[in-house]
Structure formats: C-alpha cells, structure tokens
Amino acid sequence: MRTEDLHALLTAEGQDLLAELRDHSPGDELALATRLRRTHDAELVSAALAQARLRSRAAAKFGADAARMYFTPNGVEQSTRTSVAEWRARRMKDLGVTSVADLCSGIGGDAIALARAGIRVLAVDLDPVTHAVARANAEALGLADLIEARCADVADVDTSGYDAVFVDPARRGGRGRIFDPESYAPPLSWAVQAARRASVGAIKVAPGIPHEAVPGDAEAEWVSEGGDVKEAALWFGAKAAEPHRATLLPAGVSLTGGRLPDPEAGPVRRYLYEPDGAVIRAHLVAEVAAELDATLIDPTIAYLTTDRLAPTPYATAYEITDVLPFNLKKLKALVRERAIGTLVIKKRGSAIEPEELRKKIKPEGVNSAVVVLTRAAGSPVMLIGRPA
Ligand SMILES: C[S@@+](CC[C@H](N)C(=O)[O-])C[C@H]1O[C@@H](n2cnc3c(N)ncnc32)[C@H](O)[C@@H]1O
C-alpha cells in the first residue's frame, strides 16, 4: 500500500467502499469488484479490496477492532496480537509507567494496547506508510489524544521524557525471518542500550532467542496463548527477582524462576504432565516439577510424572494406563481391541510423524485415548492414557 492509497481510503468515498466490503465473502470478490468499478475509481476499488483482505487476516490478532483498523501486509505479519499487547501494557501499568516511547511501532499493535491502559505513547516508525497507518489507527480507535505517531529513525529520538521504552525491532528481512538478534533492525544490542536508559524497558524478541543472548540484568518472559508460544520479551528495570518468566494467556498467570537445577528422572508413574510451551522455552520445568513433586520421565525430555494428581495451570495432565516399548503392531492391536476411534497423538523426542502413524493405525470405534510417543530412560516408548 502507498500513503496516497491510505489517504484515499480515509476520504468519505473510501470509507463507503470499505463499508460495502465489510463481511464480503472471498467468493463474491470478483463480481463485487466489477460492480464497484462501474461507479468508483479502479485504483481506489483495488486499494479497498486489498485493505478488506488485510482486515480479515488481521481479525485473528485484533478481533473486532480489525474491521475499523488499517494495515499493510508487513504490518499484519509483524504486529503484536491484542491479547499479548494488553498483557504487556498491564505489566507496564502495574510498574507505575504513565508514558512509553514505543520505538518501532509498526501499525500500532502495542501502542493501541498501551493507550487503552491509559498510558501516553510516542509511536515511532521509520517507514512513512507504516507510520501513516499507525496514525490512522490511533484516530480510528479514538486514541489520538494518547498516541503521538512520529515518522523517524529511532536512533534520532530522545526518550528522556518517557517513563518507559519499548522496542519491537523488525525481525524479517528480504529473505524471511531473521534469527540472529544482531541482524534485527535495529540490532538487539542497540535496543538493550535504549531500554536500559529508561526506568522500565522492554524489548520484543523471537521466542527462539538463545538464552545466551539474554543480558544478565534482564528478565526474559515467554508468552503463550492457548498453549502456543507467541513471543518473548526482555524486561529491564522491572526489579525482577528471577531471571525467567512464563506467562500463559488467556489465564493471565505467570510463573517465575530459572535458578533450580534440572529435576531428577525416574519411572513413568500414574500421571504424566506436559508443561506449557512457554514453561519449556523459559526453562522453568524444574519449577513446575517442584510444585507438583514430580520427576522427569527421561533426563532429556520435558515430560513430568507423579503418583498424585494436582492441579496446575502450567502443565496438562494425563492419566497413563499403559507404558509400552514403542511397537506399531502392538499399538494397532491395542487401538482395535479397545475400540478407540478418537486417538490424540502426542510426541516429544520421537521422529515418528503423528499423521503418518494415524494413517497406519486407522482408529475406529466409540472410545477415545491419548498416545504419547516419547522416550523414557533412554528408550522409545508409547504411553497410553486419557486427559486427567
Ligand atoms: C516488528 S514491527 C513493530 C510491530 C508493532 N509493535 C506492532 O505491534 O504493530 C517493526 C517495525 O520497526 C520499524 N523499524 C525498523 N527499523 C527502524 C528504525 N531504525 N527506526 C524506526 N523504525 C524502524 C519497521 O518499519 C517496522 O514497522
């Protein structure tokens, strides 16, 4: 999208077109475009159609707001989803932050959540179209009083008047995702210096960031939603007692730690716990094991086991009925014998592809079960059970 396309969409005619395209189904697009081109400028119709497509893609991250917002293709990809941005804004608010310099604001995913938490935001982006979109979003959502959108290089911005600095560097280049934090734009080392200058600093990073890349004075937080790890952030100045945090959304619960030694390994017991992805990424499996009085089933595998069932938001529990060496024939026979038609296949530390396995087993019947393909005490095993 070009800046002039955005400006055209913000006119009364552009708004009418966007309203007509609201909730249209992709199947009707051709007929709709042909009809609209009879009465409107063809370029404006194309811009409105492209925007309508971006809005429907963005609904997964922004919910109902997406229908009122503006996007660029990169802006949708790189923006922070509302749930995660709201969580971060709440943490900022709890830390007493009243103003944030949002460096690398993109289309405003974080800025919007911060402003909605009542925080004043300076939203800085170098790209003129992205900047214009961030400004349009602040206006469309009635947040223009709290968000000042500025088109500038973050290196040229004085952040001394703000309680907090938030940096969300671009992590995608011409050749796709960037894994080396020093290749982010701006590089992680620059973002760390900027974050340390404020009372509170936060930097969004890839969830796969190597733990060695996390500075010693930072708290590293991994956030999952519905069990999927969505992002990680490094926090500075938050006076964290522990180096790591795993946050689970939508529950909004956080586990901190990172100083315990690995749990001991032992035999598979009655209950198997699968820690949430954020817990695993944050290396907090030992903290969950301590809470549950659990052991690992193998020193290299992040599954925990206990004799007693205890509730925890940080891991999903299964009751295990059979512990068997992995054997396809045996598994097939067992599934048939027990009339298991709904089979959930989980794996960790196994090269087997669940969908390939499902085709070979052909589950049929009225019962359901979970099979966990993993390793216990160094050997491939299949654990049969059900959610506890
Ligand atoms: C990951 S996106 C930010 C997403 C944003 N937090 C959101 O939720 O919408 C990174 C942004 O950084 C901007 N950027 C990269 N280098 C920059 C620089 N030196 N100065 C300002 N902005 C920059 C890019 O244009 C891009 O929009």
Each residue of 33-76: pLDDT tens digit? 999 999 999 999 999 999 999 999 999 999 999 999 999 999 99
In a shared domain, residues 135 and 240: yes
pLDDT bin (cut points 50, 70, 90) of residue 240 is low
In a shared domain, residues 345 and 290: yes
Q: In what order do the strands lie in the sheet with 295-298?
A: 295-298, 301-306, 271-275, 315-325, 379-387, 367-376, 340-347
Query: Largest Cα–Cα distance in the chain?
Result: 73
pLDDT bin (cut points 50, 70, 90) of residue 175 is confident
Boundary residue ending a domain (203, 229, 256) = 256
231 lines ligand 1 (CB under 6 A): no
Which ligand 1 atom lies nearest to the CA of residue 102?
A: 6
104 lines ligand 1 (CB under 6 A): yes
Rounded to whole angstroms, the Cα distance separating 326 from 335 reads 14
Q: Is the pLDDT of residue 173 over 80?
A: no
In a shared domain, residues 206 and 300: no
Half-sphere exposure of 175 (CA within 13 A, CB side): 4
Q: 386 pairs with which residues across the strands?
A: 319
Q: Is the CB of residue 343 less than 8 Å from the CB of residue 369?
A: yes
Boundary residue ending a domain (57, 88, 103) = 57
Whether residue 377 is contained in a domain is answered as: yes
Q: Of 125, 131, 159, which is best to mutate to test ligand 1, by the most ligand atoms within 8 angstroms of its C-beta?
A: 125
Range(s) of the domain holding residue 40: 3-57
Model-wide pTM > 0.85: yes
Distance 27 CA to ligand 1 centre (A): 34
Question: Total structural domains in the chain?
Answer: 3
80 lines ligand 1 (CB under 6 A): yes
In a shared domain, residues 31 and 91: no
Q: Is the pLDDT of residue 30 over 90?
A: no
Closest alpha carbon to 373 in 147, 262, 363, 356: 356
pLDDT digits (tens, 9 = 90+) for 109-121: 999 999 999 999 9
pLDDT averaged over the chain?
A: 95
pLDDT bin (cut points 50, 70, 90) of residue 27 is confident
Boundary residue ending a domain (198, 231, 256) = 256
Q: 100 pairs with which residues across the strands?
A: 121, 164
pLDDT digits (tens, 9 = 90+) for 249-305: 999 999 999 999 999 999 999 999 999 999 999 999 999 999 999 999 999 999 999
In a shared domain, residues 93 and 228: yes
The stretch 126-137 carries a mean pLDDT of 98
Which ligand 1 atom lies nearest to the CA of residue 171?
A: 1
Closest alpha carbon to 322 in 301, 342, 337, 302: 337
Whether residue 133 is contained in a domain is answered as: yes
Half-sphere exposure of 98 (CA within 13 A, CB side): 1
51 lines ligand 1 (CB under 6 A): no
In a shared domain, residues 124 and 237: yes
Q: Is 44 left (phi over 0), alpha (psi -120 to 50) or beta?
A: alpha
77 lines ligand 1 (CB under 6 A): no
Helix (H) or strand (E) holding 189: helix 188-197
Q: What is the CATH number of the domain that holds 200?
A: 3.40.50.150
274 lines ligand 1 (CB under 6 A): no
In a shared domain, residues 276 and 346: yes
Distance 169 CA to ligand 1 centre (A): 6
221 lines ligand 1 (CB under 6 A): no
Q: Is the CB of residue 254 less than 8 Å from the CB of residue 246?
A: yes
Closest alpha carbon to 36 in 17, 12, 14: 17
Atom 19 in ligand 1: residue holding the nearest Cα:
153
